C-alpha cells in the first residue's frame, strides 16, 4: 500500500520520520533526532497549523495487515495468585468529599537492583477525620521474586493520605528511588542499597507554612493542605539530575469540607450532577497551582515554579513528560480537571512556555474544557511523532491528539473513540503494545467518581470495566473483548491509577491497576506469544559530579561544563527500533524512556518493543538527552538489551518465553 510504503521510506531514511520532514537540528547544534520527526508545537507564520481530525498522515501506517493477537482471556487478573493482597482505602463508600473519590496509584520500581519490577502502592484513610487524628496510611510495598510473584514488605513508615508516585534514580546512584505526593504530604524515598526506601529529611517538596498536614497534630478549619496528584520525574534543565513536576489539585479544608453546596444563601450552588446530590468540586473550588522543582541530585529539590511562567492554576490530575516537539529536551503535558489542559514546551534550559491552546491540545476540538483525568503518550500512528491520549469524564470522550508537523490534530471522532468512550469515566491510560505486533493499543482504567452514577438515567455506572482498544485499518478503534470472566476487562469496578511493565521477565508488559476501595489487579500479558519482542534498558551518563563524571561523555564527547547531560536512569532518551521486515511491511517503533503515565502512577522505565512479524531488527537508534546519538547494529529479537550511553550494548540476555 502506498501509505505503508511511506512508512517504510521513512524508516529506511532515518527511523520513522517522513523524508520531507527529516530536517531541523537540535537547539544545541547536534544532529536531528534519529527516527523522530521534528515538529513545532505552535503555528508560525507561513506554517500550516494544527487542525482537527486530519485525513492523510495519521493513516500512514494503518493499512498494514493487522497482526493483533488477543485470543483467549485478555489480561487475566493474576493478582491474587501472585500474592498481591493490596486493598485500597479511599474514605467512605458514599464519597462525601472529592478526596475520597480520587483513589490511589502504583509505581513499578526495581528495589534491591535485582532486575525485576516491584510494586509500591499509595494508600488513603478511612475518612478525613481519621487522617487528621492519625496515624494515617503508609505506602504498601510488594517485592517481586522475578517471576511475577509478590511478597509484602514493610513500608517506609510514612503517615498520610498518599496519592501519586513516580520512580526514578533521583540521586544518580544507579538504583531507583521514589517520589510520592499526598494530601498535605510529600516525600522523597531513596534506596539505601539493601532495597529499603528511606525518606529524605526535608526534601523541599512542600512549601513552608500551613500547607502541610501531619496526622495526629491539632488542626483548625480554614487551612487547606497542599494536594498533590500526579508526580513526574524528568530532567527539565538537562543537567543529569532528575527534577520533579508536582501536579496539584484544589483547596479542600479537611476540617470543614463543603458538603451539599458551595457558597451561602440564595447564591449557593448545589453540588449536583444530573440532578443528584454529589460531593463538591472541582468546579467552584480553588485550584492549586502546580509546581516545578529542580533536583540537586541528592534527594532534595528547590522550587523553580517561576520557570513555568504565568499560568492560571488548574485542577491537575494527570501529567506526562515527553518530547512534544522533537527537539531533544523534555516537555510536559498536563491534564487538568474541568479547565483547559496545558502543554509546557521546554526551551532546553528548563524554562517553559505554555502553548496548549495554540498546539490544539488544551480543549476538545469544539472548544470544551473537559475533565482531564489522565494522559499517555506514544506514537500510535507510527509517523515518528508522539501522540497523546487524554482520559475524561463520562459524557466526554477520551481524546486522541495525533502529533502533526505543527501542533497536534484531534483524531478522537474519526477513530470512533467518542462512541467507544463516552459512557466511561477514565483515569489511568496507556498506549502500549501488549501483543508485540508493533502497534500500540489503548488501555484505560475506568470507574465513576460518583456512587450516585448507579441511579437511573445517568447513562453510566459507578463500577465500570477497564477497556482496551486496538487500532485497525483507518486507525479505527476496535474494542478488544475480555474473552473470559477472569479478564481485568470483564469485571466492573472502579479503577484509578495504573502502570505497565513486565513483571515476569518475558518482555511482555503487564498492567497493574488500583481499584478504589478494593483489591489491586494485575492483567497478565499472555498475548503475542509468537511475536518477537525486545526489551531495552537504558543507562545514561548521569550528572557531572565533583570534578568528574559519573560515566560517559557529553554530547560532543568532551566534558564541557555546560553541555547537556543524560540522567543516570536514561529518562528522556528517545529510541527508534526498525524491525527487519520486507519492504512492503516495514515500520519503525518510536518510544521514549519515561515512567510517569496515566494517573498518579509510575510505569516501567524499560522499553517494551514489539517487532511484529519480524524476528530481528535492522537498527536501534538512541538519542540521549545529552544530544548524543547512538546506533545499535542489527540483531535478533527475543532479547533484553542493556544500553549504556557511549558504550552501546553492554549486556544482552534472552527473554524468558
Partner 1 sequence: MRTHATHRTILARTATRVALVAALAGPLTAEAVTAAAGPAQEPAPEDAPTTEESTDDSVAGAAANAALELQMERATRLAELASLLDLGLVSDALELGLPLVAAGPPPGPLVDDGRAIALVARALDDAGRGDEARDLLIAANVIPATGPWIELEWARLDLVQDELDSALRRLVREDGTLRLPDFPQAWMLTGRALARRGSLGAAARYLNGYLERAPYAPDTVSALHILHLEALQRRDAEAATALLAESERRRRAFELIRARSLQVRANPKDALPRYGLGLAYLELGDTRAATAALEELVELQPDFARAYFQLGEARRLSGDREGAVLAFGEGLARDPDDHKCRLNRGLVLGQLARYDEALTDLEFLLRSDVAGTAEYAGIYLGLARVYDRTERPEAADQAYAKYRELGGDQPR
Residues at the site binding partner 1, with contacts judged by CB under 8 A:
43, 45-55, 265-270, 272-275, 357-358, 360, 363, 365-369, 395, 409, 413-419, 422-423, 455-460
Specify which residues 495 forms β-bridges with: 515
Q: How far apart are CA 108 and CA 168, in angstroms?
A: 10
CB nearer partner 1, residue 270 or residue 481: 270
Give just the sign of the alpha carbon dihedral 495, 496, 500, 503. negative
CB nearer partner 1, residue 82 or residue 362: 362
CB nearer partner 1, residue 363 or residue 376: 363
CB under 8 Å to 177, separation ≥6 — which residues? 167, 168, 169, 170, 171, 188, 189, 190, 191, 197, 299
| Least spacing, CB of residue 411 vs partner 1, in Å | 9
| Least spacing, CB of residue 292 vs partner 1, in Å | 26
Q: 508 with 533: CB under 8 angstroms?
A: yes
| Per-residue exposure over 119-131, b if at least 16 CB sit within 10 Å of its own CB, e if not | bbbbbbbebbebb
| Least spacing, CB of residue 56 vs partner 1, in Å | 9
CB under 8 Å to 196, separation ≥6 — which residues? 111, 156
Q: How far apart are CA 382 and CA 59, in angstroms?
A: 9
| Least spacing, CB of residue 437 vs partner 1, in Å | 24
CB nearer partner 1, residue 410 or residue 613: 410
| Least spacing, CB of residue 210 vs partner 1, in Å | 30
Give just the sign of the alpha carbon dihedral 409, 410, 414, 415. positive
CB nearer partner 1, residue 409 or residue 628: 409
| Least spacing, CB of residue 211 vs partner 1, in Å | 28
CB nearer partner 1, residue 57 or residue 123: 57
DSSP for 354-405 reads: E-HHHHT-SS-TTS------EEEEE-TT-SSS-EEEEE--TTSPPEEEEE-S
| Least spacing, CB of residue 482 vs partner 1, in Å | 20
| Least spacing, CB of residue 261 vs partner 1, in Å | 9
CB nearer partner 1, residue 228 or residue 363: 363
DSSP SS3 for 618? strand
The helix or strand, by DSSP H or E, that contains position 488, with its residue range, turns out to be none
**What's the helix, strand, coil split of the chain in %, to 5?**
10, 35, 60
CB under 8 Å to 43, separation ≥6 — which residues? 49, 50, 358, 406, 407
CB nearer partner 1, residue 70 or residue 393: 393
CB nearer partner 1, residue 346 or residue 412: 412
| Cβ count within 10 A of residue 532 | 24
Q: 403 with 443: CB under 8 angstroms?
A: no
CB nearer partner 1, residue 221 or residue 368: 368
Backbone dihedral angles phi then psi of residue 186, each to the nearest 5 degrees: -160, 150
CB nearer partner 1, residue 191 or residue 392: 392
| Cβ count within 10 A of residue 448 | 24
| Least spacing, CB of residue 406 vs partner 1, in Å | 9
Using alpha carbons, select from 488, 577, 473, 472 the residue that is nearest to residue 526.
Answer: 488
Q: How far apart are CA 592 and CA 571, in angstroms?
A: 8
| Least spacing, CB of residue 465 vs partner 1, in Å | 15
| Least spacing, CB of residue 285 vs partner 1, in Å | 14
Amino acid at each position: 500500500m502506498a501509505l505503508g510504503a511511506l512508512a517504510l521510506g521513512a524508516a529506511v531514511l532515518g527511523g520513522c520520520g517522513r523524508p520531507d520532514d527529516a530536517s531541523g537540528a537540535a537547539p544545541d547544534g547536534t544532529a536531528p533526532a534519529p527516527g523522530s520527526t521534528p515538529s513545532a508545537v505552535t503555528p508560525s507564520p507561513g506554517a500550516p497549523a494544527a487542525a482537527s481530525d486530519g485525513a492523510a498522515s495519521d493513516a500512514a501506517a494503518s493499512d498494514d495487515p493487522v497482526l493483533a493477537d488477543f485470543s483467549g482471556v485478555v489480561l487475566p487478573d493474576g493478582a491474587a495468585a501472585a500474592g498481591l493482597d493490596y486493598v485500597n482505602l479511599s474514605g467512605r463508600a458514599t464519597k462525601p468529599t472529592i478526596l475520597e473519590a480520587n483513589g490511589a496509584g502504583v509505581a513499578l520500581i526495581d528495589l534491591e537492583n535485582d532486575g525485576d519490577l516491584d510494586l509500591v502502592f499509595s494508600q488513603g484513610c478511612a475518612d478525613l477525620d481519621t487522617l487528621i487524628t492519625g496515624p494515617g496510611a503508609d505506602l504498601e510495598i510488594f517485592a517481586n521474586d522475578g517471576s511475577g510473584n509478590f511478597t509484602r514488605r514493610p513500608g517506609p513508615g510514612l503517615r498520610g493520605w498518599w496519592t501519586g508516585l513516580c520512580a526514578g534514580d533521583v540521586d544518580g546512584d544507579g538504583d531507583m528511588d521514589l517520589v510520592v505526593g499526598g494530601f498535605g504530604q510529600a516525600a522523597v524515598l531513596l534506596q539505601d542499597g539493601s532495597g529499603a526506601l528511606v525518606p529524605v529529611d526535608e526534601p523541599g517538596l512542600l512549601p513552608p507554612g500551613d500547607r502541610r498536614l501531619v496526622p495526629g497534630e491539632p488542626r483548625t478549619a480554614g487551612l487547606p493542605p497542599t494536594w498533590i496528584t500526579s508526580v513526574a520525574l524528568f530532567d527539565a534543565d538537562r543537567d543529569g539530575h532528575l527534577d520533579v513536576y508536582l501536579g496539584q489539585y484544589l483547596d479542600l479544608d479537611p476540617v470543614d469540607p463543603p458538603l451539599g453546596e458551595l457558597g451561602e444563601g440564595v447564591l449557593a450552588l448545589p453540588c449536583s450532577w444530573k440532578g443528584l446530590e454529589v460531593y463538591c468540586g472541582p468546579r467552584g473550588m480553588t485550584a492549586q497551582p502546580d509546581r516545578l522543582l529542580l533536583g540537586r541530585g541528592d534527594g532534595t529539590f528547590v522550587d523553580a515554579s517561576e520557570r513555568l511562567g504565568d499560568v492560571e492554576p488548574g485542577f491537575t490530575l494527570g501529567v506526562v513528560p515527553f518530547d512534544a516537539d522533537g527537539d531533544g529536551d523534555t516537555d510536559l503535558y498536563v491534564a487538568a480537571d474541568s479547565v483547559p489542559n496545558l502543554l509546557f514546551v521546554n526551551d532546553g534550559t528548563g524554562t517553559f512556555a505554555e502553548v496548549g491552546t495554540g498546539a490544539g491540545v488544551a480543549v476538545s476540538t469544539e472548544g470544551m474544557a473537559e475533565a482531564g483525568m489522565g494522559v499517555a503518550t506514544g506514537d500510535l500512528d507510527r509517523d515518528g511523532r508522539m501522540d497523546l491520549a487524554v482520559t475524561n469524564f463520562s459524557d466526554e470522550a477520551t481524546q486522541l491528539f495525533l502529533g502533526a508537523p505543527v501542533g497536534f490534530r484531534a483524531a478522537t471522532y474519526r477513530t470512533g473513540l467518542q462512541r467507544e468512550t463516552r459512557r466511561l469515566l477514565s483515569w489511568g491510560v496507556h498506549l502500549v503494545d501488549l501483543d508485540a505486533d508493533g502497534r500500540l493499543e489503548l488501555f484505560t482504567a475506568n470507574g465513576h467518581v460518583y456512587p450516585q452514577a448507579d441511579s437511573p438515567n445517568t447513562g453510566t455506572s459507578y463500577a465500570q470495566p477497564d477497556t482496551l482498544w486496538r487500532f485497525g485499518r483507518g486507525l479505527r478503534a476496535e474494542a478488544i473483548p475480555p474473552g473470559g470472566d477472569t479478564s481485568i476487562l470483564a469485571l466492573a469496578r472502579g479503577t484509578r491509577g495504573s502502570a505497565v511493565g513486565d513483571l515476569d521477565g518475558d518482555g511482555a508488559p503487564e498492567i497493574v491497576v488500583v481499584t478504589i476501595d478494593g483489591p489491586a489487579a494485575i492483567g497478565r500479558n499472555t498475548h503475542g506469544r509468537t511475536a518477537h519482542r525486545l526489551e531495552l534498558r537504558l543507562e545514561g551518563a548521569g550528572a557531572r559530579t565533583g570534578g568528574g563524571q559519573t560515566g560517559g561523555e557529553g554530547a560532543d564527547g568532551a566534558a564541557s561544563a555546560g553541555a547537556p547531560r543524560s540522567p543516570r536512569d536514561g529518562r528522556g532518551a528517545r529510541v527508534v527500533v526498525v524491525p527487519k521486515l520486507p519492504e512492503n511491511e516495514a515500520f519503525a517503533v518510536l518510544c521514549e524512556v519515561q515512567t510517569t503515565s496515566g494517573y498518579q502512577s509510575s510505569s516501567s522505565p524499560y522499553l517494551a518493543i514489539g517487532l511484529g512479524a519480524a524476528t530481528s531488527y535492522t537498527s536501534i537508534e538512541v538519542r540521549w538527552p545529552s544530544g548524543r546519538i547512538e546506533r545499535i547494529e542489527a540483531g535478533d529479537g527475543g532479547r533484553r538489551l542493556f544500553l549504556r550511553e557511549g558504550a552501546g550494548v553492554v549486556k544482552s540476555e534472552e527473554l524468558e518465553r
